Structure 1
Amino acid sequence: MSKMNPKEWAAQVVKQEEIDKYLVNGKDFIDESEIINKLETNRNPDPQRIRDILGKSLSIQRLEPDETAALLNVTDPELLKEMEETALKVKQKVYDNRIVFFAPLYCSNLCVNSCLYCGFRKENSEEKRRILSLDEVRKETEHVIDEGHKRMIVVYGEHPLSDVDYMVDTIKSVYSVQKKSPKGRGHGSIRRVNVNAAPMSISDLKKLGDAGIGTFQVFQETYNRDLYSKLHPAGPKSDYRWRLYALHRAMDAGIDDVATGALFGLNDWRFEVMGLLYHAIDLERQFGIGPHTISFPRITPASGSELSTNSKYLVSDEDFKRLITVIRLSVPYTGMIVTAREEPGIKKEVIKLGCTQTDASSKIGIGGYSESQDCQIAEKQQFTLGETRSLDEVIRELAEMGMISSFCTAGYRCGRTGDKIMNLLTECVEGKFCKLNAILTFKEYLEDYASEQTKTVGEKLIQKEIDEVKQIPFFKQHNLIEKLEEYYGRISKGERDLYL
């Protein structure tokens, strides 16, 4: 860990040369006047034009800004319904009917930044500050594994005590944990660790890559420069462009799965959707691939933050569904994450609009998984959760909806990352492997962690999935049905972590 005091440490974080290298004629990829103009000039779109755009999405081609702006301007209820139906078709075509689960692990709430909407900001005297020791990280991980999770995203405040060396140590600690499953014969572990952290230099990002991280996630929060400056008055996060190019640096560091997002409720949601699209376009332009996932959290109450409850841009449920629909159509290849910020009812609705990942049984207080419930009070959390149900409950609900829960991490261990997975996604091939691996990992979960009620519902769904696989020519042509049946039988007898 860094021995600098926080002020000195914060002053040396931003490396201007690692911003300038990505600029074009001194300009970044967000042209606010262009975004505003496109939203204005694409008002009242012709219905046939919208249907043509939907056809393009369904062919798994990323939309252009004018096309996305047109979708954002649709108000006709019938067209909106067509958009929602197409969004789900796009998701099913690329990712099939699976939902991937993960759990967050908050390792530290120490922070040098002053973000007005965040409970972690340094001026918030109400926040109870803490950083987990490596033993505590392992203890928290054991509790997450006991729920049945195989993926984790580790989250950190920006501070010298939680610098990249601490991150590397915590990631290694998470990977080191093996825990016998409570109901089965297998041992559980976290097979993929993603990271949500502050922007950092290419050299630091290489350290994360060497530690074996999966996806590196940084949200821009808002793409509006003036608003960004007002919301981030101090700290390294106050540098708009340092954050804007965080994922570019990650790609240069060899981390080929990156994830972006915006915090909806800070600014007009249509503008932010356009910003996310331009972000994807510039990643494609400079590296040939766009974001692995896009997230769209809505602002929720945070301790000591008046803005978190009274922003004039708070997003209604109806607009939330619209923005998710447009993102799904606009960037059809990307994964989409709806988080436990959302209440169960709206979360269930938007999953039907094309979301591919979510978290459950999440605890965002520092030490929240292994300690008493008082660590879930607002003063120990970054924001407020809407979804507090167990993983088992959420999985059962999805199974009843005909959606299979997946804990698959096969692609990352088979080299299906970066441009490789993007090509497979756009060609609608990766989803077929995902379907097989979802069956196998769901079987693991049902054997080792599920309640009897969930296991009953889940076994019926698995049989339906296997019946579907047997009717799909792709699986017959590549002799995958026999391999699936072999692996499924071996898992039933106690083997684990078999994948295609």
Structure 2
Amino acid sequence: MKPDSTGLVNFIDEEKVWATVNSAANADSSRIMDILDKASELKGLSLEETAVLLQVEDPELNEAVFETARKVKQGIYGNRMVLFAPLYITNECGNRCAYCGFKASNKELQRRTLTAEELQQEVLALENQGHKRLLLVYGEHPKFGADWIAETVRTVYDTVSEKSGEIRRVNINCAPLDTAGFRKLHEVGIGTYQCFQETYHRKTYAELHPGGHKKDILWRLHAMHRAMEAGIDDVGMGTLLGLYDYRFDTIAMLSHAAELESRFGVGPHTLSFPRLEPALNADIAFNPPYPITDGQFKRLVAVLRLSVPYTGLILSTREGRNMRRELLDCGVSQLSAGSRTYPGAYSDPDYDRPDVQQFCIGDNRNLEEVITEIVGHGYVPSWCTACYRAGRTGEDFMNLAKTGFIQKFCHPNALLTFKEYLLDYAHSETRAKGCSFIESELDRISTQLRDSVSDRLNRIEHGERDLYF
């Protein structure tokens, strides 16, 4: 395709994406089972194979998709579940996205940008719950540049509670920057840069983004290129389900991932797949033009796990408790918990306020309630940040992951971070159940490593913190 006036090329070939989707429809059962056999080898799937599985309707074949996804997820990630929280810094925005409560035309929204002191209070509130990993979220207003964003990152890292409360991993969701801007974020130590394309369908994108810098689809499409050119190894992409046909946007997103892998040797570190939720004065959010059913959504997550087995899949609190529980088994590897979606929310005692939040959330439980449930279902909560701090990111991480590294080190590291949480933040009942669970999990660790893990757990018991392999 020809570049636009800025020299950027739309590498998403819409005709090719639709041809892939349409040619994969109505595959017979033998073709589907062959694809599932291939997926079981943990080597990923082609776009055409992915499109076939996205369109499986037969109940028995659907269950075969879910069962394969469970096995693949267990084989790569084990029973570890990474937890994080979003922290909204500002809801000021210059865009006019038709589905978002933060849009510039929403005059009823109370606008707020946190001061450094207010940001510190939010961080302390999250640290005192036990969080170690945060996703900083910024409205896309042109007055907030890379220098200001970088300063907020420094503030977060520098804010330490009286417990064991330093934040060890700061990820960013902000407007696409130029390469120099991304380099500034890299220099202050951000983890993953996250940016959602929302929809890859150009006509729909233009209709839903009529104003602001975000209306430039190619500038947004090339954001990940600029971030990786600036030295940010880990990037996270996603689509907002409900804006356009989920089959198209899923294949287009995976085409985007393939473009990054071809160009930089590694694809996205994470993928997200939020569904459209109601928001103040965003009529389209109440009536999605392309609604996706629970069944389609669950299958989509399972198919993503099979298509890109070593890529993290993030599930937000947009989904309700039951759906979040179902998706733990068949694909999700990262889970937000105790989320609040407006600036100052974690310090706000009356936090359920639709007049200020970006969208309505479906799971209002606090962090400890989420932890209690996932432990009850056999999952180890993890706040591990060892790989990022040891430089095991980007292509290096993927190469290690494909050799079984995640099972060998990430599971022990998860136990160490869970032990910290139980000692520093959990109520007594949660602590007792959690410590018992950790003891049972030691049997899953190789005999060569078990003594070292036990030693570190004992050191944490006696006051040491931030131990990892």
Task: Give yes or no for TM over 0.5.
Answer: yes
Of 322, 327, 331, 2:308 maps to 331
Q: CA RMSD in A?
A: 1.4
Are the equivalent residues in 1 in contact too, given 2:86–2:136 (CA < 8 A)?
yes
How do 1:208-357 and structure 2 match up within 5 A?
208-357=185-334
Partner of 1:7 in structure 2? none
C-alpha spacing 1:310/1:417, structure 2 compared with 1 (3 Å):
same
CA contact (8 A) 2:310 2:401 kept: yes
* Whole-angstrom distance in 2 between the partners of 1:176 and 1:112: 29
Give the corresponding residue for 2:89: 107
The one of 90, 99, 107 equivalent to 1:117 is: 99
Q: Secondary structure at the match of 2:185?
A: helix
Residues 443-452 or 199-208, more deviating: 443-452
Please give the secondary structure, in 1, of the residue aligned with 2:128.
helix
Other-structure match for 1:42? 24
1:138 aligns with 2:123: no
**Alpha-carbon contact 1:400-1:457 (below 8 Å) kept:** no
Tell me whether 59-68 or 242-251 shows the greater mean CA deviation: 59-68
Q: Which residue of 2 aligns with 1:494?
A: 463
Whole-angstrom distance in 2 between the partners of 1:194 and 1:211: 11
Q: Deviations over 1:312-368 (max 9, x none)?
A: 312221111011111111111100000011111111111121100111111112101
- The letter of the residue matching 1:38 is T
Q: Tell whether the 8 Å contact from 1:95 to 1:431 is kept in structure 2 after alignment.
A: yes
Which shifted more, 141-150 or 74-83? 74-83
Deviating 4+ runs (over 6 angstroms): none
d(CA) in 1 for partners of 2:296, 2:337: 24
Aligned residue in 2 for 1:67: 49
- Counterpart contact for 2:337–2:367, Cα < 8 Å: yes
The one of 152, 165, 180 equivalent to 2:147 is 165
* Partner AA of 1:87 in structure 2: A
1:440 to 416, 428, 437: 416
**Contact 1:199–1:246 (Cα < 8 Å) also in 2:** yes
How many percent of aligned residue pairs carry the same amino acid? Answer: 46
Is 1:150 equivalent to 2:126 in the alignment? no
For the residues of structure 2 that align with 1:179 and 1:165, how far apart are their CA atoms? 25
**Counterpart for residue 97 of structure 1:** 79
Map of 1:458 onto structure 2: 434
Range with greater deviation from structure 2 (73-82 or 375-384): 375-384
In structure 1, C-alpha distance between the alignment counterparts of 2:406 and 2:83, rounded to whole Å: 18
Contact 1:98 1:406 in 2 (8 A): yes
Paired amino acid for 1:89: K
Q: 1:16 to 1:62 in 2, by over 3 A?
A: farther
- Helix, strand or coil at the partner of 1:444: helix
| Distance in 2 between residues matched to 1:180 and 1:56, nearest whole Å | 50
Q: Which residue of 2 aligns with 1:195?
A: 172
**Contact 1:151/1:191 (<8 A) preserved:** yes
Equivalent-residue separation in structure 2 for 1:494 and 1:58 (angstroms): 43
Does residue 408 (structure 1) correspond to residue 384 (structure 2)? The answer is: yes
Residue identity matched to 1:396: T
Does the 8 A contact of 2:90 with 2:342 survive in 1?
no
Residue 16 of structure 1, CA deviation: 6.4
CA-CA distance at 1:430 after TM superposition: 2.4
Per the alignment, residue 9 of structure 1 pairs with: none
Q: Which residue of 2 aligns with 1:11?
A: none
Give TM-score scaled by structure 2 length: 0.97
Amino acid at match of 1:399: V
Aligned to 1:184: none
Measure, in 2, the Cα distance between the counterparts of 1:172 and 1:328.
Answer: 34
CA deviation vs aligned residue, 1:376-402 (integer Å, no higher than 9, x gap): 411211111111101001001000100
| SS of structure 2 residue aligned to 1:380 | coil
Question: What is the identity, as a one-letter code, of the residue corresponding to 1:405?
Answer: P
The CA deviation at 1:431 is 3.0
* Counterparts of 2:123 and 2:435, CA distance in 1: 27
State the partner residue of 1:387.
363
Question: Where does the alignment leave 5 or more consecutive residues of structure 2 unmatched?
Answer: none
Q: Distance in 1 between matches of 2:50 and 2:386?
A: 33
CA distance in 2 between partners of 1:43 and 1:279 (Å): 22
Q: Distance in 2 between matches of 1:465 and 1:248?
A: 40
Q: Which residue matches 1:76?
A: 58
Judge conservation of contact 1:364–1:376 (CA < 8 Å) in 2.
no
State how far apart, in whole Å, the 1-side matches of 2:395 and 2:20 are: 29
User: Following TM superposition, by how much is the alpha carbon of 1:460 offset from its aligned partner in structure 2, in angstroms?
Assistant: 2.4
Distance 1:270 1:310 in 2: 19
TM-score (norm 1): 0.91
